[in-house]
């Protein structure tokens, strides 16, 4: 593994990213590459890197796992901004970087995103045809979630509050940070929280795999763009690349099952697949060995066919 700092024209900060290499890596060869994108509130050291990134590298891909701008090891200020358009730009900047690497085939690059990173990866694929194939793992349309559950179904009220906070902060008030999750599952239950996604997110981030770079937080005053953003806009006409959607069949409040079925139905892709991992939830697909294994049994052959272009994988798929 190598950690790199990616800077592109127009940016005043670096994107921190880990590059994972396949077994027997030879820098004189040309490899297919994958961009593996972390969930909202997460970081490159968690599921996008240590689970899905590692599996794709083992399967023969060079994998670049970035931290979002304003978060983790990446630069940008103020901290903890969650801006969908910036996230999509980050991913395209990482594609730019991948195409400069002498050991990456610039015409064989795909993208995988998890949770909110899945929704952002959808949008990146819609607008960037250098991306040859898309995989979403329990992907979520963050704009839809912000307009619904994350704003208590009052998006206009949320925008008014954000405007007031930004005015106050410009006048010198302290920043208002939304800490997405309680300190523990026990605290969540004591507060009367029952949603499976919220409880299992707390277990993952606070217990199963805590990581220093995972902020699980958002600067509220800068979150307004997300309320007017839609990961799936124009998918019916512009999302044409091969696509694999992976979702669990235990739906929770973050809406990955709903969003996965929606983008599967709406995408213009002539080659699109949906895998429903039965008996498992959104956060089970982050790191639980059985559901992740089921997912990877479809993900790796799909990527070998549509990104790496391996004849054996094409024949098996047919």
- Take residue 27 and report the two structure tokens written for it: 């820098």
Cα dihedral 46, 99, 111, 28 sign = negative
Distance CA 193, CA 276 (A): 26
In this prediction, residue 311 carries a pLDDT of 66
Q: pLDDT band for 37, please (50, 70, 90 cuts).
A: very high
Distance CA 82, CA 200 (A): 21
- Take residue 189 and report the two structure tokens written for it: 């239950």
Q: Does the pLDDT at position 317 exceed 50?
A: no
Q: Are 151 and 158 in contact (CB under 8 A)?
A: yes
DSSP state string for 197-232: HHHHHHHIIIIIS--TT---EEEGGG-HHHHT--TT
Q: Where are the domains of the chain?
A: 2-145+229-317
Q: pLDDT band for 318, please (50, 70, 90 cuts).
A: very low
Q: pLDDT band for 8, please (50, 70, 90 cuts).
A: confident
Alpha-carbon separation of residue 182 from 81, 190, 199 (angstroms): 20, 10, 9
pTM for this entry: 0.96
- Three-state SS for 164-176 is HHHHHHHCCCCCC
- Take residue 47 and report the two structure tokens written for it: 């599921």
pLDDT in tens, 242-268: 999 999 999 999 999 999 999 999 999
Nearest to 90 by CA among 117, 63, 54, 110: 117
3-state SS, residue 184: coil
3-state helix, strand, coil in the chain (%, to 5): 45, 20, 35
Q: Please name the fold of domain 2-145+229-317.
A: Rossmann fold (3.40.50)
Distance CA 144, CA 153 (A): 10
Q: At what angle do helices 256-266 and 116-127 cross, to 10 degrees?
A: 20
Phi, psi of 196 (to 5 degrees): -60, -40
């Amino acid at each position: 593994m190598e950690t790199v700092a990616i800077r592109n024209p127009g940016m005043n900060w670096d994107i921190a990213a880990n590059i994972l290499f396949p077994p027997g890596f030879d820098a004189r060869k040309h490899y297919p590459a994958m961009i593996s994108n972390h969930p909202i509130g997460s970081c490159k050291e968690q599921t996008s890197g240590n689970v899905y990134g590692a599996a794709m590298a083992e399967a023969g891909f060079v994998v670049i796992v970035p931290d979002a701008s304003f978060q983790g090891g990446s630069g940008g200020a103020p901290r903890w901004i969650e801006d969908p358009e910036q996230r999509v730009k980050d991913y395209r900047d990482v594609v730019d970087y991948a195409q400069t690497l002498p050991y990456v085939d610039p015409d064989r690059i795909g993208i995988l995103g998890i949770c909110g990173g899945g929704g952002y990866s959808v949008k990146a694929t819609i607008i960037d045809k250098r991306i040859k194939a898309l995989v979403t793992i329990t992907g979520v349309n963050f704009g839809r979630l912000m307009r619904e559950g994350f704003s208590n179904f009052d998006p206009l009220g949320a925008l008014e509050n954000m405007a007031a906070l930004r005015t106050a902060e410009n006048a010198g008030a302290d920043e208002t940070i939304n800490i997405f999750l309680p300190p523990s599952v026990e605290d969540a239950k004591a507060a009367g929280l029952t949603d499976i996604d919220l409880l299992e997110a707390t277990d993952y981030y606070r217990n199963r795999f805590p990581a220093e770079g995972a902020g699980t937080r958002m600067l509220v005053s800068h979150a307004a763009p997300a309320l007017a953003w839609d990961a799936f806009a124009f998918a019916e006409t512009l999302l044409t690349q091969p696509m694999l959607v992976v979702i669990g069949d235990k739906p929770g409040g973050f809406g990955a099952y709903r969003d996965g079925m929606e983008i599967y139905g709406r995408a213009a892709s002539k080659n699109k697949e949906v895998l429903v991992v039965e008996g498992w939830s959104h956060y089970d697909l982050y790191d639980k060995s059985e559901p992740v294994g089921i997912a990877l049994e479809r993900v790796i052959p799909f990527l070998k066919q549509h990104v790496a272009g391996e004849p054996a994988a094409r024949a098996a798929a047919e």
